[in-house]
A and B are shown apart, each in its own frame.
Chain A
């Protein structure tokens, strides 16, 4: 797909930048640190390669921004910095709003559900299915960065996009590992 190849190029470019910064910033003390740096740079590169077009990328950058250490990396990697600025705060407030809405809904919905349950016995299977779907949606929301503050419809769309990007990331990393692996 042309989309993925373009994303791939962007990702590679940004990752190169990120790795350079990581290498030049400080000496990696141990394996874990190096691994974290590599993964971090890869994630940031991936998210910034999306150019703030998707909310999961914004959420990812916002999450990373919490840690001040990463600011340098972020500043260098993400060109349209402004897009990510304040994303975290926005997300937090948005999240809170959504959570309170959900609490309200739950409190109101329980009564309705009980009433409905009594009237439609045949919906038992549906209810079970719905519950399953809800459970899984919750898990998915946790997996996708920034997923908690999304509704069901957008979470799936974001998950799709996230999957695509993750695939690109894994692909690139695999190639690099293979290249180095061959040398090793």
Chain B
């Protein structure tokens, strides 16, 4: 994240820093400002060819965009937004899987969302999860609006921008013609530095239509710096993967309507759940990587900057929708002091939110809320059509609807099964066994199904068919099923025992 700051120049740096940090934060989805969305949408689309999840990241980006202007009142350059968008895009993609933050540990849907950040993009591509842990633990309930430029950011941005000057042009060029395969050169270039982040932002603007470009740019950003060479490589790998994902995703950002967050989410949401989930996992891991990466990156930088960046990230990540209304840019001062306090802290520590009391009670409350938002993000991935997170209440609503619909489905299906010919009841086990076999990935189960069609009419033969078709292909794992079915069949009576014939 710091790298991005450098790229964009002083003003932008701040934004970028924020955005990077925002990527880490899993609370993006909850930030809801829509203003950003519109502004950032354009940028995001261009910068987010990466994956389908970009759609989901749109909300994040939007929130970024939204907050970006507020945050950087005194840095009104668009480029800032660009930088922010890059991150946001990255984040947004990861955002969808942000919910996975909380569950990363639980091996649940990976946090795609977090990775969207460019830096994390590299890592995100690889494994979104990396980002999460630090972000997750540190997710501050700050809303994006809390990023208003504080003096600390400005200083940091200024420092970062000093790095970016030289590499900026270089960074821009690749946009035009960067093929995916050129990721590696970018990563090496990334080493030059930090301005890459800024490029990503800028590049996105110019390369709006070229999703693939974004990928390489992202790589550059991710690759920047020091020490994280290995990370960069990993990130570039993941980046390539994400590129592929993005391509698979279809339109990616370029195809999506930048202006409409909904479109993004739809695009993202419309994609295959599996692919989304896979992306989520990648993003999440990337997120983790990114966090690490960012940390590593920051080491050469001023530690204060790094901490500030982290703080920002954490703050950004912590988008508690409820707090959005509360937080205002007017709390810069407090944040600055808080960020300085945090410099020594690890990411895991919970920071006092802006404008909030720092007593233990509120801190505990905040931790609680952060946990909740992490899980909400995870739920987002689970519940279909929730890629555009707008707030806790809406998310909860969706979850409730989904649970209710699933429960109703169970009722309906059990009713349907009950209506099945009573004779079929005995066959249900066979069907279940077959299903089990199928779930094990065997076409063997399906083979057995053919004759099963006639089950009600020729139960014996169908039983045999099930046995032969379904079980034969499987190893010992099917023995249990077979035995169960056999025993059941025997209990039912009236059936020949095909298992004995088939030689269980």
Contact = CB atoms under 8 A, between A and B. Distances in A.
Interface string A113-132: 00000001011111001101
Nearest to B109: A1
A143 B407 CA distance: 9
A94 interface: no
A183 B458 CA distance: 11
A130 B326 CA distance: 12
B417 interface: yes
A179 to B, nearest CB: 4
Given A39-B411, A140-B403, A180-B431, A13 B375 contact: no
A136 B396 contact: yes
A39 B421 CA distance: 17
Interface stretch (A28-36, A62-70, A75-83, A95-103): A28-36
B173 interface: no
Interface residues of B, number: 74
Interface stretch (B112-120, B220-228, B481-489): B481-489
Contacts of A20: 429, 484, 487-488, 491
B425 interface: yes
B375 A160 contact: yes
The number of chain A residues touching the other chain, given as a range, is 35 or more
A15 B416 CA distance: 16
B396 A179 contact: no
Nearest to A157: B375
Interface in A141-184: 143-144, 152-153, 156-157, 159-160, 162-164, 166-167, 169-170, 172-177, 179-184
A177 to B, nearest CB: 5
A150 B370 CA distance: 17
A28 B414 CA distance: 14
B345 interface: no
B428 A19 contact: yes
Contacts of A162: 403
A32 B414 CA distance: 10
A28 B422 CA distance: 9
B452 A12 contact: no
A19 B371 CA distance: 40
Given A16-B429, A160-B108, A179 B419 contact: no
Given A13-B480, A157-B375, A166-B406, 11 more contacts: A9-B436, A12-B481, A13-B436, A19-B428, A34-B418, A37-B418, A123-B325, A129-B322, A133-B393, A173-B409, A180-B420
